[in-house]
């Protein structure tokens, strides 16, 4: 354990030193975020914080890449996705160009053999579902999907960094339980670098991670989850879904919401989870801390699910699903008419709806 703590400490120290330097660099090259109608911050903010996170992560595990092919592949793909995000932070790339960068990064780890080749079916001992020729496209979809899910929740100071740190810490515990050394090493380094970055990124933030950070974090979480699929106890597809439940559910709600409203699924809006919490009266910090708590709940659920009996697994899934439905109902994350809990309990309409919202 001391080895992992030392590795996390190295990542922490490098990111802590690098973040102020990257902040100056962002201003110098014009990689800044200007407020608009969809954003909650005031004043011009430097971006490129993802470079500092990546440098800390690289310092923590880069020297181990020769001994672990998985780490080497993840770092190479990470370079591609960080560069893609950094160019977007400075110049504003088109969605297609960003997608191509993400797919190239995914192709690196796929070529290295890190693929979703099968999953263990939940509640069915010794039963697996083999993907065969579909392994490559499914893996590609998973990496790109998770990468963009983290990118979508990066809307408040410290939100994406904190949520990912909690998810990475959960992945670290699960990886230790399974003896998955490469995943545990990367998770420890990621937690260390994010802990340091949060010193500068928590509200009121001094720097944003930008797409260079959010894309890198999503990519790394996707890759670490894939490494888990190679381990017997973590191959139930539900475990990584629980670990990443907050960003994935927020993305799913956004897709359904936009489809129901006749919008493109790529159309931006201000009805994500963090927007909804602000709308009901929570302060910036309260909204972020509330989502941290939700992330911790799902992280603990994932750990419990991975070690539990069938009946406890079922109970965990029911509890997790109920929490998501309640959130979608109360905060109207899916649609203003989506109120299954209110209808079941025969409660009056949402107060905002009754005022003709």
Burial 63-92 (b: 16+ CB within 10 A, else e): ebbeebebbbbbbebbebbbbbbbbbbbee
Contact 23, 197 (CB under 8 A): no
Mean pLDDT, rounded, for 340-349: 71
Distance between CA 266 and CA 259 in Å, rounded? 10
Residue 29, number of CB atoms within 10 A of its CB: 15
pLDDT-derived band at 354, boundaries 50, 70, 90: very low
CA 101 to CA 84: how far, in whole Å?
6
Is 261 marked within a binding site?
no
pLDDT at 159: 94
Taking only the tens place, the pLDDT of each residue in 235-277 is 456 788 899 999 999 999 989 888 888 888 877 778 889 988 9
| Residue 155 binned pLDDT confidence (cut-offs 50, 70, 90) | confident
Least trusted range by pLDDT, from 131-145, 210-224, 330-344: 330-344
pLDDT at position 311: 77
Residue 127 backbone dihedrals phi, psi, to 5 degrees = -105, 130
List b or e across 5-28, with b for residues whose CB sees 16 or more CB atoms inside 10 angstroms: eebbebbbbbbbebbeebbeebee
Residue 353 has pLDDT above 70, yes or no: no
| Structure confidence by residue, pLDDT tens digits, 128-150 | 778 888 989 999 999 999 999 99
Higher pLDDT, 43 or 299: 299
| Phi and psi angles of residue 105, each rounded to the nearest 5 degrees, phi first | -65, -40
Mean pLDDT (the chain, rounded): 87
pTM of the predicted structure, to 2 decimals = 0.89
What tokens appear for 12 in the block? 């922490």
**Is the pLDDT confidence value at 82 over 70?**
yes
User: Any known ligand binding at 151?
Assistant: yes
The predicted-structure confidence for 290-312, as pLDDT tens digits, reads as follows 999 999 999 999 888 877 677 78
> How confident is residue 338, by pLDDT bands cut at 50, 70 and 90?
confident
Task: Calculate what percentage of the chain has a pLDDT beyond 70.
Answer: 89
């Amino acid at each position: 354990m001391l080895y992992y703590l030392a590795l996390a400490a190295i990542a922490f120290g490098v990111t802590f030193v690098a973040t102020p330097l990257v902040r100056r660099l962002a201003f110098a090259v014009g990689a800044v975020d200007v407020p608009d109608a969809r954003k909650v911050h005031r004043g011009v903010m430097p971006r490129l914080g993802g470079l500092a996170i990546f440098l800390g992560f690289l310092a923590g595990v880069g020297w181990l890449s020769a001994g672990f092919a998985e780490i080497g592949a993840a770092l190479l793909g990470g370079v591609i996705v960080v560069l893609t995000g950094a160019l977007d932070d400075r110049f504003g790339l088109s969605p297609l160009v960003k997608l191509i960068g993400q797919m190239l990064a995914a192709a690196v780890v796929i070529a290295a053999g890190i693929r979703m080749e099968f999953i263990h079916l939940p509640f069915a001992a010794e039963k697996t579902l083999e993907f065969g020729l579909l392994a490559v496209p499914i893996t590609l979809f998973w990496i790109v999907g998770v990468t963009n899910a983290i990118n979508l929740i990066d809307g408040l100071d410290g939100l994406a960094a904190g949520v990912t740190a909690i998810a990475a810490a959960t992945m670290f515990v699960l990886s230790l339980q399974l003896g998955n050394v490469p995943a545990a090493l990367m998770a420890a380094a990621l937690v260390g670098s994010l802990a340091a970055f949060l010193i500068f990124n928590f509200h009121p933030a001094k720097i944003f991670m930008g797409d260079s950070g959010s894309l890198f974090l999503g990519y790394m979480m996707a890759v670490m989850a894939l490494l888990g699929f190679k381990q017997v106890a973590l191959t139930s597809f539900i475990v990584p879904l629980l670990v990443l439940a907050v960003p994935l559910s927020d993305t799913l709600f956004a897709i359904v919401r936009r489809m129901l409203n006749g919008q493109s699924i790529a159309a931006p809006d201000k009805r994500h989870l963090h927007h909804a919490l602000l709308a009901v009266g929570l302060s910036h910090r309260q909204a972020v801390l509330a989502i941290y708590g939700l992330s911790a709940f799902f992280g603990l659920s994932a750990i419990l699910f991975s070690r539990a009996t069938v009946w406890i697994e079922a109970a965990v899934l029911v509890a997790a699903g109920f929490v998501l439905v309640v959130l979608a109902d109360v905060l109207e994350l899916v649609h203003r008419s989506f109120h299954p809990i209110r209808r079941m309990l025969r409660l009056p309409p949402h107060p905002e709806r009754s005022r003709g919202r």
